[in-house]
Structure 1
């Protein structure tokens, strides 16, 4: 029900309606002038009235952001490609995670967000140190 109310308010904004026009559309569609007085059926009628006036609801955006675990794995592989790591295998990463977390986590997939962020930051620092040393030589 809250989703329907939100869509109606988005429609009002998208269509650039002033308050009086908005209330008039609600009243014409449902006989009520406020969403808070409406049930699901009335809210659907009101939403349809806005769609009839040109409101286009957009489908929810798909999540495309990588998970923290994906970021950790990507950074590990990048460091391997740069030659920073002797062994850039998944087994080596699991061993690194196990050591860095004192055995609390055996693989990156099992780490909580806080721990994964700490691991990412530690790898970034390691990467910076090596890159800085390479630039000094």
Structure 2
């Protein structure tokens, strides 16, 4: 008998691959020898899943999602979460889940959960994350303007100011974020 997890994955694959009911039933009969996923044996369910994976199905485990902003005791924690989510959306972080953020925070501060950070360790993690994000932004924008430290972008922050665009008080990180929104291409 197929496990509940196998049956769930088969149904997720059906939806992800956009299989209609007739094609889905035919696939179950051809590969699994049963008209329904509930009637598959454990081995046959594995065979069906392997076939679906060969057709493009990707089982993506879901990590914990970040809680709503404004709930953290330390304000920097909300900023850390926001930057992490932004980096994930920009393609700089493979896994944008709270679990992945916790692992990264632990590697930087030895605190196991981002929500447990105190002011000093939160500031340390925030600065490390901003530096990492800056490197990724420079790399992404550098592809547009050439080798970054010698590029037009690096040398023309004053030009950026003269064009009437906000430079965020001369803070390079915020200026890079603004430039990436305008010119960057999400991965």
Q: What TM-score does the superposition give when structure 2 sets the normalisation length? A: 0.36
Q: Which has the higher relative contact order, 1 or 2, with Cα contacts under 8 A spaced 6 or more apart?
A: 1
Q: What TM-score does the superposition give when structure 1 sets the normalisation length? A: 0.48
